[in-house]
Amino acid sequence: MPGSSGALPGDDLADWLVEKLGVRPVSRRPVGGGCIHSAWCLSVLPSGGPAPRPEPLSGGLLFAKTNTLEALPLLEAEAEGLEALARAAAGTNLRVPAPLAVGAAGNQAVLVLPWLELAGSGSAAADRAWGRLGAALAMLHRSSLVRPCTPGDRPGSFGWPRDNVIGSGPQRNGWLAGWGRFFAERRLAPQLERLERRIGALRGGQALLERVPDWLDGHAAEPCLVHGDLWSGNAAIDSTGHGVIFDPAVHRADREVDLAMARLFGGFPDPFFAGYEATWPLPGDHLRRVPLYNLYHLLNHANLFGSSYAIQAQGVIEKLLQDPPA
């Protein structure tokens, strides 16, 4: 990895930023936290060229993700998801870093976003901010029911106009009318198939797929726009006290999938859930569906990161078959 100061390596990226945004990078430093792309805080100045510079530039700083050209579809899917969430969040106090530019700069794939200063956690003010984030997410979910969020979007159906990604793994979409069938065929089945090719079939996987539609079709799910990968690493509070969400895997789904994942991998603070409930209460039995919805993420992690997650997924499958969520 290059050093943490000085101009960005290679003229291609600098020229690309001039062309796309009318700014030129003067220094950069690496930003930690990601495991797929390289992330950077860019210090930029107006280039004096014809392209409009983004406003505001938050003190001359931008956030950039870079990778090899093969990863460009991942960054394009992220950009589309952020744009959709930003449209759905209009009128709320939820901040979504809408993409400034995405594309190929020489031999690099690049996504540029506004720079956001994030705040710490643990204070009473932070708790109130997490409550507002939960409330804003509820508003986003509800408003998206009737608001198209991207070209080709279909309010009223489950899915997304095109396949995208969950982390660095493929996420199958298309459109279906029934939530139970969508979750079985477009979420769980592809992950189970990938895992079978890697390490062998999980016990009870096929039986689970056959039962999921019956379990979920009795639940009156509505096709909201969901973040899709809403664990604690993909949300924060900024320095102004606004909630921020990023790194999405968007699609139209039962809103409970976002709330379920918010309990996984460390979980969100309690005020987040209280804020959501106060704005758009969840069904009284929603916690029974949490293990089923989070099975998708355990399977995805098993495919991306290895067998320890497969062991967890196997345990969840067995428990679900013994004690169904419906």
Catalytic residues: 229
**Which two three-digit tokens encode residue 134?**
């939960």
Q: Report the alpha-carbon distance of residue 105 to residue 13 in Å, rounded.
A: 5
Do the beta carbons of residue 247 and residue 81 sit within 8 Å? Answer: no
- Tell me how far apart the alpha carbons of residues 63 and 235 are, in angstroms, rounded to a whole number: 16
Is 80:96 a contact under the CB 8 Å cutoff? no
φ, ψ for residue 150 (rounded to 5)?
A: -165, 160
Query: Do strands 169-171 and 158-160 pair parallel, antiparallel, or not at all (unpaired)?
Result: unpaired
Nearest to 65, CA basis, from 98, 87, 42: 42
